[in-house]
Amino acid sequence: MRRFLIASCLLGAAGVAVFWLLTMPRTIAAGDLPDYDGDPAKGRHVFYASGCASCHAAPGAKGDDKLKLSGGLGLESPFGIFYASNISPDPTHGIGGWTAAEFVNAMMRGVSPEGRHYYPAFPYLSYQSMTVEDVLDLKAFMDTLPAVAGEAPPHDLPLPLRLRRGLGLWKALYMDYAPFAPDPTASAQINRGAYLVSGPGHCGECHTPRDLLGGPDADRAYAGSPAPKAKDSVPNITSHKDGIGDWSIRQITTALKLGLLPNFDSFGGTMIPVQENMAKLPEEDLLAIAVYLKSLPPKPSRRKK
């Protein structure tokens, strides 16, 4: 019995050690960052491409108040409610005291300055493919925004999900820690659209269905998914007839620029702030997004049984 207990303790300790190693946050060292301070003008572009204000502005904010990133918006999911944090330059409640490395690791690795995993309600699964220069430009722009005091509510999650360390296993399943790789067989325009859609635009976070663990179903990328709060679904945006197969490139760019759909309706729901952000992008980027979306292989929407 004594030997059994000793062996059990050793196995348990080994299991804990393996779990600790497997779930250890992976970060980018400050010394590995480029010698680049970031350009606020370019960062404004990245800010709107990334849709930061859509989640992190105070709920109901209008106009210039959307640049006051105090957080507080509740994001419902099958796992609980996640609340967007304060990401204003406030040094106490926001990110005003963060270094460049801390900001890059939050965006591209989903790791806080304290070394804790962020929940993937923050779309670092997409942001990991951004260029470091774009992320540093974004920080330079966000540093110019108003500092706002106040903390968002804590996430409303069941007890097991409050233990963030286990998110390291989720990351091991779904993160590849790889930057965007241009397709050498595609045009520069398509590659630009692919970067904007898959990286800062994080379109797949909503338009790609998820599995039981909340990871994206890569085989059905952009084929639409259930909406978290409604009986409706998030639309298919591939070139299938279920999606935007009958939309022209010009109709896609018009929808992103003005919010007007080919059937003379307009965007609704959570797509409204997305479109408002997209409208601030240069025409050539909207065109690149449209051309890339039309190049996606057609995938049928998953029908309800």
- Domain CATH number, residue 207: 1.10.760
Residue 1 belongs to a domain: no
Residue 16 belongs to a domain: no
Note whether 239 and 148 are same-domain residues.
no
pLDDT the model gives residue 305: 41
One-letter amino acid of 111: V
Note whether 203 and 260 are same-domain residues.
yes
Residue 302 belongs to a domain: no
Residue 114 belongs to a domain: yes
Residue 18 belongs to a domain: no
Structural domain count, the chain: 2
> Which of the listed residues 174, 198, 220 is the one where a domain comes to its end?
174
pLDDT the model gives residue 229: 62
Note whether 98 and 216 are same-domain residues.
no
Q: Report the C-alpha gap between 19 and 279 in whole angstroms.
A: 45
Residue 59 belongs to a domain: yes
Residues of the chain predicted below pLDDT 70: 15-16, 19-20, 228-231, 303-305
Note whether 128 and 58 are same-domain residues.
yes
Distances (CA, A) of 84 to 68, 139, 189, 300: 13, 18, 33, 32
Note whether 35 and 169 are same-domain residues.
yes
Note whether 155 and 198 are same-domain residues.
no
Contacts 24+ apart (CB under 8 A), 71-74: 71/150, 71/151, 71/152, 72/150, 72/152, 72/153, 74/153, 74/156
Q: Kindly report the number of other CB atoms within 10 A of residue 159's CB atom.
A: 6
pLDDT the model gives residue 232: 72
Residue 303 belongs to a domain: no
**In this structure, are residues 66 and 84 in contact, taking their beta carbons and an 8 Å threshold?**
no
**Contacts for 94 with CB less than 8 Å, ≥ 6 apart:** 69, 70, 86, 87, 88, 147, 148
209: phi then psi, degrees, rounded to nearest 5 = -65, 160
Note whether 63 and 129 are same-domain residues.
yes
Residue 81 belongs to a domain: yes
Q: Which domain holds residue 156?
A: 29-174
Note whether 149 and 75 are same-domain residues.
yes
Note whether 147 and 44 are same-domain residues.
yes
Closest alpha carbon to 201 in 113, 274, 112: 274
Note whether 219 and 266 are same-domain residues.
yes
> Which of the listed residues 174, 196, 229 is the one where a domain comes to its end?
174
> Which of the listed residues 145, 174, 203 is the one where a domain comes to its end?
174
What pTM value is reported for the model?
A: 0.92
Note whether 159 and 267 are same-domain residues.
no
Per-residue pLDDT tens over the stretch 96-123: 999 999 999 999 999 999 999 999 999 9
Note whether 76 and 104 are same-domain residues.
yes
Rg of the chain over Cα atoms, rounded to whole angstroms, equals: 21
